Amino acid sequence: MADGEVEIAPFSPSHAHAGTRRGTGFGAGLMREFLREAGGCAVIDGGLATELEAHGADLKDPLWSAKYLCTSPDLIKKVHLDYLEAGANILITASYQATIQGFESRGFSREESEALLRRSVELACEARGIFQGRRLRGSDRCSKDGISSKQHPVLIAASIGSYGAYLADGSEYSGNYGLEVTLETLKDFHRRRLQVLSEAGADIIAFETIPSKIEAQAYIELLQECNIKIPVWFSFTSNDGINIVSGDSLMDCASIADSCDNVVAIGFNCTSPRYIHSLILSIRKLTEKLILIYPNSGESYDPDKKEWVASNGVSGEDFVSYVSKWHEAGASLIGGCCRTTPNTIRAIAKALRKDFHPSKPDEELHNDIERNILKDSFLIDSA
């Protein structure tokens, strides 16, 4: 265990009893206890890729942010820590675009590919240990900001991106994979990654940017067939505030997620902020499960140039001004997706917790992490 870390027992479904009402099944007790300790509403972290790029990362690669699991894992850990310091309660792992098939295409063995998946969870857990240890040691600082370690619980969410994220052709934003991609194709693609990540030490699985009904159905069937024992969330994406991006009915997709006891929260990510309020109101009619939202900045993604381009989005200030409205509408897990930063998350935390004052990073530890990042010399091309 590295200096500055402490052993933190993660939340576990075995620590809480499942509810009995519809929509409050497997893992619901876990989330109720987590939200109670977080003050009633939890903050999800922000864009990982945005921050990696801010530190000089080149993500124009089919592996996207997963490339840095190989080339600079300490940079990923630093970004995780930055989000915790900004007020995040939930860290999403750097596995969104990390797939066994993707790593194997770059020359890694099956064993090495699975180890990289597990490493994504380990990095987030290590960041949590460092952060919680720092808060326990800095009792004076905790008393000043009004939030104790007990009041700042941290969950690790293992990210599983869509099949389209692996294709790296923009189809994750349309769900249009072609007629040759069937339900069984998707199940075969996701199966082993789901198994590895569910056993890697995360507290919850995050199915993110789900673009279609068929992919949601694939996940549900895999959860049952693989006998997955940890809770999950389903996060869809919409480009019109009515349906999900494939054009499939929001009601149909949410109903699929609501039918599974493993699913403890349903919502939206990588969706423009201007659609979020109406989506929350719609999904409240369909489920009693928790509602989560972590919109993007409102910009749009160009899959050919592999970059974000300006659109009729919202400013950072406007984004944060919506937070209380989203919470009042029913969202209890709120954060940011692509193009949001620790500053965004800091503002969200302040909006949700009026007495929250983000702590400053431990300077010595910050310098150690920076030195480790500079020392990373293993290149993905050498695999």
Q: Which residues are annotated as a binding site?
A: 270, 337-338
Q: Are 332 and 283 in contact (CB under 8 A)?
A: no
Annotated binding site for Zn(2+): 270, 337-338
Going by C-alpha positions, the residue among 178, 181, 179, 231 that lies closest to residue 204 is 231
Cα(58)–Cα(33) distance, integer angstroms: 39
Cα(17)–Cα(30) distance, integer angstroms: 7
The string over 252-288, giving b where at least 16 C-beta atoms fall within 10 Å of a residue's C-beta and e elsewhere, is ebbebbbebbbbbbbbbbbbbbbbbbebbebbeebbe
In Å, how far are 26, 237, 276, 335 from 255, measured between CA atoms?
16, 15, 19, 23
Q: Are 203 and 157 in contact (CB under 8 A)?
A: yes
**Cα torsion through 304, 308, 314, 316, rounded to 10:** 170
Residue with tokens 């290590």, as numbered in its chain: 126
DSSP of 175-191:
----TT--HHHHHHHHH
